Amino acid sequence: MSVKVQITEERLAKLYGVMEENKKKPGPLMPTLHEAQKIFGCIPIEVQKVIAKELNESIAKINGVVTFYGNFSIEPKGETIINVCLGTACYVRGSQGVLDAFQDCLKLKAGETSEDGKYTLQSTRCIGACGLAPTFTVNGTVYGNATVSKAKEIIESLR
Ligand code: FES
């Protein structure tokens, strides 16, 4: 399941403006990618091609950066982003069960976005809150001592 990204003339013009500015400084790629993520809500391959051409970089390099960093995504994300930590401390305390509960409730697999664009479910590595394990985040807010019932409660409260 995925949501289609809108690559409008207006958004592209904004991106070209950003690149024009960034090209005047050293290392224009990362700031351009951050802005592209903001402008389009993600950095799909069509946008990567535009950036590659304009900044004289290879698509392979840009795609590598986009897929490596969690701040970037190739597909649009939902309004509500749920991230379940599967780092070691969380995993041994049952975070897989919490992820399964979210998957069941949202009818999504980890990494997917609902067709209505409301939810993205993801799994992540350690978020640095192991003392609260198992953890998950909802739009960046950390929830600790997570349980399956807490996961279900959160989904109910979001609906
Ligand atoms: S392993 Fe989950 S917060 Fe560290």
Q: What is the pLDDT of residues 65-96, one digit of tens each?
A: 998 887 788 888 888 999 999 999 999 999 99
Give CA separation, 81 vs 26, 55, 112, 124, 154, in Å.
Answer: 33, 31, 10, 12, 12
In short, whether 87's Cβ falls inside 6 Å of ligand 1 is yes
Distance 125 CA to ligand 1 centre (A): 7
Distance 132 CA to ligand 1 centre (A): 8
Q: According to the model, what pLDDT value does residue 3 have?
A: 61
Predicted TM-score of the model (pTM)? 0.71
Phi and psi of 122, rounded to 5°? Answer: -140, 160
DSSP 77-136: PPSEEEEEE-SHHHHHTTHHHHHHHHHHHHT--TT-B-TTS-EEEEEES--S-GGG-S-E
